[in-house]
Amino acid sequence: MNMNKWYILLLLCALAACKTNNVDFGYSPVEPKAGEKIQFTNLSTSGEDWEWDFGDATNSTLKNPAKIYKQPGTYTITLKVDNKSSWTKTKSITIYDTIPGIECSVENADSLGIDIFSDVSLSALVYNPYKYKVEYFWTITGAEYTMLSENNESEKFSFYVSHSETKQFTIGLKVTLNGQSRDIVREYKVNNVPAPALLMMDEDSVYWSQRIFGSRAEEVTLLTYEEGIQLLDEAQDTFQIYNNYTVRLADLQAMVEDMIGFRIASRKIYYRTPDGLFVSNIDGTYPEQIDAQEVNALATDVVNNRIYWASDSAVFYMPLIGSENNKFTTEPVQINAIPSVVKLAVDPIER
């Protein structure tokens, strides 16, 4: 074989070597138990796409995933790189009898944290093949929260964090199995996520803000006079630009003579009179009374599908009405107890 052929052969071998990949992985701890978090480390020398099969009908596409096995046993783990069958590594892992663990409904809560006012469901992971009596006791420290579960002594526990000043909190779980107790502790950070806010001014020109999270609301906070003036427009519910046309209160008083304020949303007119709050079709047909109290101010939020209104004692909301005859099945919900609010608006910017 001449030198040129040797050179070509060596070059081909080098190129072939460049295309190989040493696929491998490890995990910690090396003797994991059911309910214990296992961290997998990808040791492959190259690759961009990862396919993990953990042998219990669960998968991951993360490079270095974490995993909790709920039951002890031996599982076959397969890592495939870049979807190539030749770039595959398989290992067996033995999961030993359990230590109690906690499973969180929020994906990657350990690393990404938990959003305020979002539902969180926790489950105790306990291996109990002999059906011993199990007792549970959940605690939360470092956070203001609202419990959604009936009690804190069941296998599952649900709640949401209800204060934006919370930065981090601790979940505690005491599991008593066959008379023996074990304590598990988890720490989570809290994400103070942006949200739309209801803006209010009372009759003394004091300005308030209250962030809204779905059906839940934050405690009200005071705004400075300068902030309030900037966010709450002066005219409020006496005129509105609708479909590029300016609708004024006087235009609608020809239809409802004693109307003193209105909002148009989703082809409905929500209006207030001395007799309370009403809704009608945009042509004035099928008027229905929503609230018989005197109403001081109105605001609509078409993004979150709501109408807000203020009475002398509190602020309320309910979903915008969609039926043609304006019959509604939901009841008004009181969102705060600020008295004598005379201006309302929804902040269009989530803060």
Structure tokens, 303:
């993004």
Structure tokens, 129:
């093949």
Residue 324 backbone phi and psi in degrees, to 5: -65, -35
pTM: 0.68
Q: Which domains does the chain have, with CATH numbers?
A: 21-95 (2.60.40.10), 101-191 (2.60.40.1080), 197-347 (no CATH)
pLDDT at site 178? 81
Q: Which residues pair with 262 in a beta bridge?
A: 271
Confidence of residue 17 (pLDDT cuts 50, 70, 90): very low
Mean pLDDT to the nearest integer, 263-268: 95
Mean pLDDT to the nearest integer, 195-211: 95
pLDDT at site 98? 64
* CA nearest to 143, candidates 212, 191, 209: 191
pLDDT at site 121? 97
* Range of weakest confidence among 15-19, 111-115, 158-162: 15-19
- Give Dmax (Cα) for the chain: 106
* CB 152 within 8 Å of CB 172: no
Give the CA distances from residue 180 to residues 102, 105, 183, in Å, rounded to whole numbers and listed in that order.
18, 27, 10
pLDDT at site 73? 83
Amino acid at 64: N
Mean pLDDT to the nearest integer, 244-257: 94
User: Is the pLDDT confidence value at 18 over 60?
Assistant: no
* CB 152 within 8 Å of CB 140: no
